[in-house]
Amino acid sequence: MIFVTIGTQVSFDRFIKIIDEVAAQIDEEIVAQVCQLGFETKNIKTIDFLAPDEFNELFSKARLIVSHAGMGTILLALQQHKPIIIFPRVAALGEHRNEHQLATAEKFKELGSVYVAMNEEELKTLLLQNDLRPLAEIGEYASRSLIEAIEDFIG
Amino acid sequence: MKMDKKKIFAVASIGGHWIQLLRIAKPMEEKFEVVYLCTHPKCATMVEGHQFIQIEDYSRWDAWKMIPSFFRMCRIIRRENPVAIISTGATPGLTCLLAGKMLGKKTIWVDSIANVQHLSLSGRLASKFASRIYTQWKDLATSKITYAGNILGE
């Protein structure tokens, strides 16, 4: 199963439309968590609101995660060793308050720890590959140095 | 003699902020009694066995809600009396830090790893008053803004 998520704040129809289109060529169940979707999808199942536990269940069942460039989803995927494709929201298109997702996506592309699609073509190409593997592993917690710095300060 | 653990607040909005907060606060549970505050009640399931307080959600677009929220945070802080407050964002976390500052608590802001080019607006506001400000990117560190690692654990 492929799990698609756009976070909880604003709609991201451009992204869902691309996935719905390419889904016609994919022989695998695709479930998308959406919000305020402005059209009917033909090839993928959409769910409007997911409670955190329902979200986690779908997430852990999924073979592949496809997501907006939100840190929460990126972190969950890295923690659970799932391959993830991120596709940034563009504020200029009204998809976010500022362009930080573009910057996040560029940075993660540089780090090479997740698959990054900056446009429709790249997203379609990645979705049609069926050999995506997790690109990085992270431990359970933040850097020891950061935790210690905070603990020392609190005293 | 067993000493009681000092109490600290860990506060964030649901989503990326919350996930990042857990990666910082969870390992601190050994040394501190961590009280978690989040904007969504269901997040309580992720911190079972710990005190959880739901807080109001708002962003800079409905920032007027900061005012009643600020007073409620003050009441919560007075009641629980933590020694320090840590937040990874967003606006409600900033409000909680401000309330903590007013009440003489140590306040710690860890800017989201999503902010790769400059600190978030909340982070910039927090840097005006918080006791400690951390960025998760080395190149954003300054004399006031510290880099000590990131939530990825690298």
Task: Report pLDDT for B42.
Answer: 87
Query: How far is it, in rounded angstroms, from Cα B64 to Cα B58?
Result: 9
Which parts of chain A fold into alpha helices (H)? 13-23, 52-61, 71-79, 100-111, 120-128, 144-154
Shortest CA gap B140–chain A (Å): 14
Query: How far is it, in rounded angstroms, from Cα A19 to Cα A138?
Result: 28
Q: Which residues of B touch A103 (CB under 8 A)?
A: 115-117
User: Cα separations (Å) of B47 from A2, A112, B52, B99, B106?
Assistant: 28, 31, 8, 23, 23
pLDDT band at B44 (very low <50, low <70, confident <90, very high): very high
Q: What is the H or E stretch that residue A66 is in?
A: strand A64-68
pLDDT band at B2 (very low <50, low <70, confident <90, very high): low
Query: How far is it, in rounded angstroms, from Cα A43 to Cα A23?
Result: 6
Token pair listed for A151: 């603990």
pLDDT band at B1 (very low <50, low <70, confident <90, very high): low
Interface predicted TM-score of the whole assembly (ipTM), two decimals: 0.96
Which of A75, A100, A103 lies at the smallest CB-CB distance from B20?
A75
Tens digit of each residue's pLDDT (9 = 90 or more) over A117-154: 999 999 999 999 989 999 998 999 999 999 999 999 99
Task: Report pLDDT for A125.
Answer: 98
User: Cα separations (Å) of A33 from A67, A154, B12, B112?
Assistant: 10, 39, 22, 23
> Which of B23, B42, B58, B61 to mutate against chain A (most A CBs within 10 Å)?
B23
Domain ranges of chain A: 2-154
Q: Are A98 and A69 in contact (CB under 8 A)?
A: no
- Would you call A93 helix, strand, or coil by DSSP? helix
Q: What pTM value is reported for the model? A: 0.89
pLDDT band at A7 (very low <50, low <70, confident <90, very high): confident
Our CA angle for B133, B125, A105, nearest 5°, is 70
Task: Report pLDDT for A78.
Answer: 95
CATH-assigned architecture of domain A2-154: 3-Layer(aba) Sandwich (3.40)
Tens digit of each residue's pLDDT (9 = 90 or more) over B92-140: 999 999 999 999 999 999 999 999 999 999 999 999 999 999 999 999 9
Which B residues, 50 through 109, put their C-beta within 8 Å of a C-beta on chain A? Answer: 59, 83-84, 86, 106, 108
pLDDT band at A64 (very low <50, low <70, confident <90, very high): very high
% of chain B surpassing 90 pLDDT: 91
What is the set of domains in chain B, with CATH numbers?
6-147 (3.40.50.2000)
Q: Do A146 and B134 touch (CB under 8 A)?
A: yes
User: Cα separations (Å) of A37 from A17, A153, B74?
Assistant: 10, 46, 38
> Which of A33, A114, A141, A148 to mutate against chain B (most B CBs within 10 Å)?
A141
